[in-house]
Amino acid sequence: MSAAIRVMPSAATRATSLLRTVQYTHPPNCPCHSNPGYHHRHARPQVEAFAQRTRDTRKRGFASPIDLSQQKEYAFEMAASSIRFGPGVTQEVGMDFTNMGAKRVCVVTDSTVRRLTAVKQVEEALSREGIDYEIFDKVRVEPKDSSIKEAIAFAKPYKADAFLAVGGGSVIDTAKLMNLYTEYPDADFLDFVNAPLGNGRPIDKKLKPLVAIPTTAGTGSETTGTAIFDLVAKKAKTGIAHRNLKPTLGICDPLNTRTMPAAVKASSGLDVLFHSLESWTAIPFNERTPRPTNPILRPAYQGANPISDIFSLNALRTTVKYLPRSVKDPEDFEAQSEMLLAATLAGVGFGNAGVHLCHGMSYPISGQNPGYKHAGYEVTSPIIPHGVTVAVTAPAVFRFTAPSNPDRHLAAAEAFGVDITNVKREDAGEILGEAVAKFLADLGDQPNGLKGLGFTSEDIESLVEGTIPQARVLMLAPGLAKELERERDQLRRLFEDSMTHS
């Protein structure tokens, strides 16, 4: 009888065995990595691809031509502003600019906030430190490209060495672009605007310090590198997104949100709700294409990732709990504080993971407003608040996206208080869609779908065409076709299903 011959494992076999051991016998248990149905479904293909490449030495995979446009992302990058949170911290802002060495500060606000305590505190804080400042108070709520250009024209000759935004998302976004275009004085306005509406030029310079003091609990703009506005000629809402746009510091003072009217609290809070819900359900970061050829080209909106998940899900749960209280009781300071914190948490989440269909479809809804003016807003022209434009399509959107990851959609439904113990995974979309619709109805004073805003079925084609250019967010939408005509059909159905919620 011949003795058995022991064959030593190859390097490839040993490496593959080690990878399998790490990924399958030691599953991640820390909260950053324990995402249901998220990581392990991608692990085996990565291991097998490595094994195939290493065990078959006859194939020179790295020497073969590669279609870079089809390479999936392999990394994610987190960026967020420094945040200071607490009642009364507005009064510290003068010292912040002294610490930065700033001597000329451009203060950006709107005509309503200019009359409030927040701006008075800012002026006192700057004066105490002997800092020179000029106030621009002509920011437009839901800004247009024309109002942004007016603000930039104000900022250029002042030559500030720092900016301070005091207000809601419109104010903070306007200040970001004032900062950007004063640093690039010869740039064309469309140079940095998101493609395909603009040229999508990356921001390759460090901008001046920008401190943001939010007076609404909604956009989370104090943490993000995104600025949104209406591009009137295209009848579409668009923006500029890059990490270098993000504020240096966000000063989140719950005392500044106490003056918000109930309607503003509701619409701002809805923005928080769908920032968190969309970023939680966006495609995973390692499903996004193309992989950037240079880190500077990696987009701010990257897809769901282990870090953004923590912020997004926490913000979702907080908003479901505290938004109704915040709207119904102006004296509920706990609810106001929790909503401001939720807005900031959601900003970190979506500012890195991104949003998708609700926001992509909201931009033409806002840009093509048939004349709707939301009650409770002190404006003279028609306006659909951003949070409202996002909410009207949400029930239909999450019915559509649920098949991409039922577990995530069920976890979101559970955050709304739904008992998912005996729910089938294939019913996840219907369950979450119903939960969202009920939440909107219970919140009160919300339009019942697009018809409640004055849109009709005749507007659907125009809304679809206004959504198509929103590539920055549509690329993160689960289940959305890449083929243009099929994508149009899907969007058309979503707008039809959003005409009413019931």
Q: What is the pLDDT of residue 65?
A: 60
Strand partners, 373: 383
pLDDT at 45 over 70: no
Name the band, by pLDDT with cuts 50, 70 and 90, for residue 253: very high
The pLDDT value given to residue 234: 81
Distance, in Å, from the CA atom of 359 to the CA atom of 467, rounded to the nearest integer, reads 9
- Predicted confidence (pLDDT) at residue 46 exceeds the cutoff of 60: no
The residues facing 227 across adjacent strands are 240
Range scoring the smallest mean pLDDT among 44-58, 251-265, 307-321, 384-398: 44-58
What tokens does 174 get? Answer: 């306007």
Helices (H), 368-483: 386-391, 394-401, 406-415, 428-443, 460-467, 471-474
pLDDT value, residue 379 = 78
Provide the b/e sequence for 196-213 (b: ≥16 CB within 10 Å). Answer: ebbebbebeeebbbbbbb
404's tokens:
């991409």
Instruction: Sort 328 into a burial class: Cβ within 10 Å, 0-12 / 13-18 / 19+.
Output: middle
**Mean pLDDT, rounded, for 420-444:** 97
37 confidence band (pLDDT: 50, 70, 90): very low
Domains of the chain: 82-257 (3.40.50.1970), 262-497 (1.20.1090.10)
Mean of per-residue pLDDT scores for the chain:
89
Report how far residue 413's alpha carbon sits from residue 432's, in angstroms, rounded to the nearest whole number: 5
pLDDT tier at 64, thresholds 50, 70, 90: low
What span, in angstroms and rounded, lies between the C-alpha atoms of 179 and 210? Answer: 8
Q: Is the dihedral of CA 150, 151, 154, 156 positive or negative?
A: negative
**Pair 165, 211: CB distance under 8 Å:** yes
Q: What share of the chain is helix, strand, coil (3-state, %, to 5)?
A: 55, 10, 40
Give the lowest-confidence range in 3-7, 166-170, 438-442, 487-491.
3-7
Cα–Cα distance, 45 to 20 (Å, whole number):
11
Would the pLDDT of 439 be above 90? yes
Q: Distance (Å, rounded) from C-alpha 65 to C-alpha 49?
A: 17
For residue 378, the model assigns a pLDDT of: 77
Across residues 318-345, what is the average pLDDT?
A: 97
* Closest to 472 (Cα-Cα) out of 356, 365, 388: 356
Phi, then psi, of 227 in degrees rounded to 5: -135, 130
SS3 52: helix
pLDDT at res. 9: 55
In angstroms, the CA 450 to CA 496 distance is: 9
DSSP one-letter string for 273-330: HHHHHHHHHSPBGGG-SPPPSSGGGS-S---B-HHHHHHHHHHHHHHHHHHHHHHH-T
Residue 53 has a pLDDT of 37
136 forms beta bridges with 108
* Residue 4 pLDDT > 50: no
Condensed to tens digits (0 to 9), the pLDDT of residues 182-208 reads: 999 999 999 999 988 899 999 999 999
**Would you state the pLDDT for residue 1?**
46
The reported pLDDT for the residue numbered 233 is 86
Integer Cα distance of 404 and 415 in angstroms: 19
Structural contact between residues 400 and 494, judged by C-beta atoms closer than 8 angstroms:
yes
11 pLDDT exceeds 60?
no
Cα–Cα distance between 33 and 28 in angstroms, integer? 6
pLDDT, residue 14, reads 56
Q: How confident is the model at residue 502 (pLDDT cuts 50, 70, 90)?
A: confident
Q: Model confidence over 66-85: pLDDT tens digits?
A: 677 789 999 999 999 999 99
pTM: 0.84
- In sequence order, the β-bridge partners of residue 164 are 107, 211
Beta strands in 35-112 (DSSP E): 82-85, 104-108
Which of the two residues, 214 and 197, has the higher pLDDT score?
Answer: 214
Taking residue 116's Cβ as centre, other Cβ atoms within 10 Å add up to: 16
